[in-house]
Chain A
Amino acid sequence: MTDDPILTVLVAMFAGAIRVSTPFLFVSLGECLTEKSGRINLGLEGTLVFGAMSAYAVSYLTGSPWTGVLAAGLCGAGFGALHGYICKLPKVNDIAIGIAMMLFGTGLAFFFGKGFIQPTAPRLEAIDFGFLVSNPQLKVALQINPLFFIGIAAAVVLWWAFRNTRFGLVVRMTGDSSATARAMGTSVDGVRFLATTIGGFSAGIGGAFLSLYYPGSWNEGLSSGQGLMAVALVIFSRWNPIACVGAALLFGAAGALGPALQSIGVSQGYHFFNAAPHILTLAIMIASTSPKRSLKGAPGELSITR
């Protein structure tokens, strides 16, 4: 029970880390799976925005936010499938297709989302862990959305599956050497199509979190590159789903820095604090990559790390 501004900022960043990190987590898990299969989908930014729009629209129309989450996932899977299908054609560049999907996805989201900016849709309910602590700020911080736990569970499952299941082995093999995969009789395009589709599903759910929980409304400025930062985050996490959770929390805390400082009255330079996740991403990319050696854990077929 203190008014210490530093503590206030730290608590707000802790709360923010949990709240802001969830979309990062879902997008990066999806991207992690896609990249493990040897393909990169830069279009997840578009998927995220379209997922946010469709979740909000469906939640408004049906009155059930979880139906909205499902719809967002399905729309995301649709975008992922489109990306996966186009990229299997010869001579098509997956990075360029990703950029096109980014523009197309946001364009479609703004097009169909125009009518849903005004109305208020039912939002997702949080689980309240506030009874654990007495500090009123922490009580607010501990209202955690179930999607956060689903994301962490998904990360653990993905991490386990990569190591221990046939599915994980096939995905990793396809990502490391398509020639080997073909020699083993695996359909390289099929695996990558599936990985991109599931990745899109996950990114769509990340979008649903944006519009249905935090910030919790649909507008055209909802996402500012979260989908793209998640791609960088996967590289930083060295394609390890568990590390993705940690990285997402770090990015979430960085994203919460601006609002947290504003809450204690520091408004000078808040534009820079709002750009903190972008600056952090760039700094992390500079610090964690190397032109000399390939990155540990990098799928051998991935075009961005070559």
Chain B
Amino acid sequence: MPDPTTDASVPAVAAQPAPHPRAIDWVGRALAASEAIVIPVGAVVVSAALFSLFLLALGKSPQTFFELLWRGGFGTAFSWQNTLVRTAPLIFTALCVAIPARLGLVIIGGEGALVIGGFAAAVVALPFIGQGGAFFVMPLMFIAATLAGALWIGFVGALRHHRGVNETIASLLMFYIAVAILNFFVEGALRSPADPNKPSTTPIGADLMVGQIPGLEVHWGLAFGVVMAIGAHILMSRTTFGFAARVTGGNVRAARAQGLPVGRLMLAACALAGACAGIAGYFEVAAILGKANASLVAGYGFTGILVSFLARHNPLAIPPVAILFGGLAAAGGLIQRRMGLPDATVQVLQGLIFLIILLSETVYGRIPLFSREARA
């Protein structure tokens, strides 16, 4: 990805993604831009090779695996549809990681904001189900999901700002609390008698469901996700907010010395991130499930972490990377059935890619100007 910052007045240190404040681009922008594509692609190839060895050691054929992966994820129109349906929530949950990451915050509890957002959307719809007025109720559901998500991760940002609580641990703990809230209401007060097998809220009904993109047979959440990613890119690279955020991510002390409102920036970024994850929850409820139940906890929030890291927290790179992992998730069932592998196979591959991607950070800018310990 070409680095968004072309404004010559912007210091080079701020042009780099947040977690690598020392990776100063001295080679030149063109080379740096190609570096940021070549290294992640190389890391994925290395992961695939290691995973092939893993399969060979178990006596399974890597060739069959990748053939099935292709067929299940991208081979047919149906598999593409399956992939893109999973891509949409991944874009939002990856944005939930990428936006705070620009400020140097590692938020891994996007799954919790997704659950709370989806739950909030289903709950505000309850009094209106079957009454019509979709033009009013649908925006209401959307706003409820966005607000719930924003408050959820915004709370994590507030804890970080006001109490110095580590945001990584806090956001993951909040995920468990979100699941407890969902289960408490869905299996208790809000349980619908309509579905005796799986505890759920009352189905919102067809008139409140989000429609599909004509010709693609995928719900509108996908298009909205791409728009949000582009919006996040513009926000981060073309606005004062984005600039201030990147300065903060580059060096908090420098940002404070410049008089930037670091605390408010953190709060805003976390709230925005949570809003994204909440929107993912809205589309899961209003386009896929039609009600809130335990199926909301599908792991999109956790895969989103991986998507964001592989995209190097660059919002424009998130949709293509999300398609890759959407395809991986879509092909999981086929691989499981045809090769007799456990359903955790995809998770092993994801974990491996994550490790290798982080490992590849060490390759950027081969000349180590500063040793690791010299970090301020």
A residues with a Cβ closer than 8 A to B are 42, 86, 88-93, 95-97, 99-101, 103-111, 114, 178-179, 182, 188, 224-225, 228-229, 231-232, 235, 268-269, 271-272, 274-275, 278-279, 281-282, 285-286, 289-292, 301, 304-305
Q: How far is the CA of A211 from the CA of B180 in the complex (A)?
A: 23
Q: State whether the Cβ of B27 lies closer than 8 Å to any Cβ in chain A.
A: no
Chain A residue with the shortest CB-CB distance to B372: A90
What 0/1 pattern do residues 333 to 364 of B give for CB contact below 8 A with A? 00000000111110110111011011101101
Q: Quick check: B359 and A92 within 8 Å, CB to CB? A: yes
CB B175 to nearest CB in A, in angstroms, measures 8
Q: Quick check: A224 and B170 within 8 Å, CB to CB? A: no
Chain A residue with the shortest CB-CB distance to B345: A111
Q: Quick check: B163 and A104 within 8 Å, CB to CB? A: no
Specify which chain B residues have a CB less than 8 angstroms from the CB of A178 in the assembled complex. 373
Q: Quick check: A278 and B355 within 8 Å, CB to CB? A: no
Q: Quick check: A278 and B177 within 8 Å, CB to CB? A: yes
Specify which chain B residues have a CB less than 8 angstroms from the CB of A275 in the assembled complex. 176-177, 179-180
Q: Which of B23, B350, B371 contacts A107 (CB 8 A)?
A: B350
Q: Quick check: A286 and B165 within 8 Å, CB to CB? A: yes
Chain B residue with the shortest CB-CB distance to A293: B164
Interface residues of B toward A: which range? 35 or more
Q: Which of A111, A225, A286, A305 contacts B163 (CB 8 A)?
A: A286
CB B48 to nearest CB in A, in angstroms, measures 15
Specify which chain B residues have a CB less than 8 angstroms from the CB of A290 in the assembled complex. 163-164
Specify which chain B residues have a CB less than 8 angstroms from the CB of A182 in the assembled complex. 373
Q: Which of A91, A93, A109, A232 contacts B364 (CB 8 A)?
A: A91
Q: Which of B108-144 contact A (CB under 8 A)?
A: 108
Q: Quick check: A114 and B342 within 8 Å, CB to CB? A: yes
Specify which chain B residues have a CB less than 8 angstroms from the CB of A95 in the assembled complex. 106, 168
Specify which chain A residues have a CB less than 8 angstroms from the CB of B348 in the assembled complex. 104, 107-108, 111
Q: Which of A106, A188, A282 contacts B170 (CB 8 A)?
A: A282
A111 touching B342 in the complex, CB below 8 Å, given contacts A91-B372, A103-B302, A271-B183: yes
Q: Quick check: A96 and B106 within 8 Å, CB to CB? A: yes
Q: State whether the Cβ of B66 lies closer than 8 Å to any Cβ in chain A.
A: no
Specify which chain A residues have a CB less than 8 angstroms from the CB of B163 in the assembled complex. 285-286, 289-291
Q: How far is the CA of A203 from the CA of B233 in the complex (A)?
A: 40
Q: Quick check: A91 and B20 within 8 Å, CB to CB? A: yes
Q: How far is the CA of A60 from the CA of B360 in the complex (A)?
A: 38
11 more A-B residue pairs beyond the given contacts A93-B361, A285-B166, A286-B163, with a C-beta to C-beta distance below 8 A: A92-B358, A92-B361, A110-B343, A111-B348, A114-B344, A224-B176, A235-B166, A274-B180, A289-B163, A289-B164, A291-B161
Q: Which of B162, B306, B347, B362 contacts A106 (CB 8 A)?
A: B347
A91 touching B355 in the complex, CB below 8 Å, given contacts A188-B373, A290-B163, A291-B163: no
Most buried by B among A106, A107, A229: A107
Q: Which of B169, B352, B361 contacts A228 (CB 8 A)?
A: B169
Q: How far is the CA of A81 from the CA of B181 in the complex (A)?
A: 37
Q: Which of A97, A106, A108, A229 contacts B173 (CB 8 A)?
A: A229
Chain A residue with the shortest CB-CB distance to B352: A104
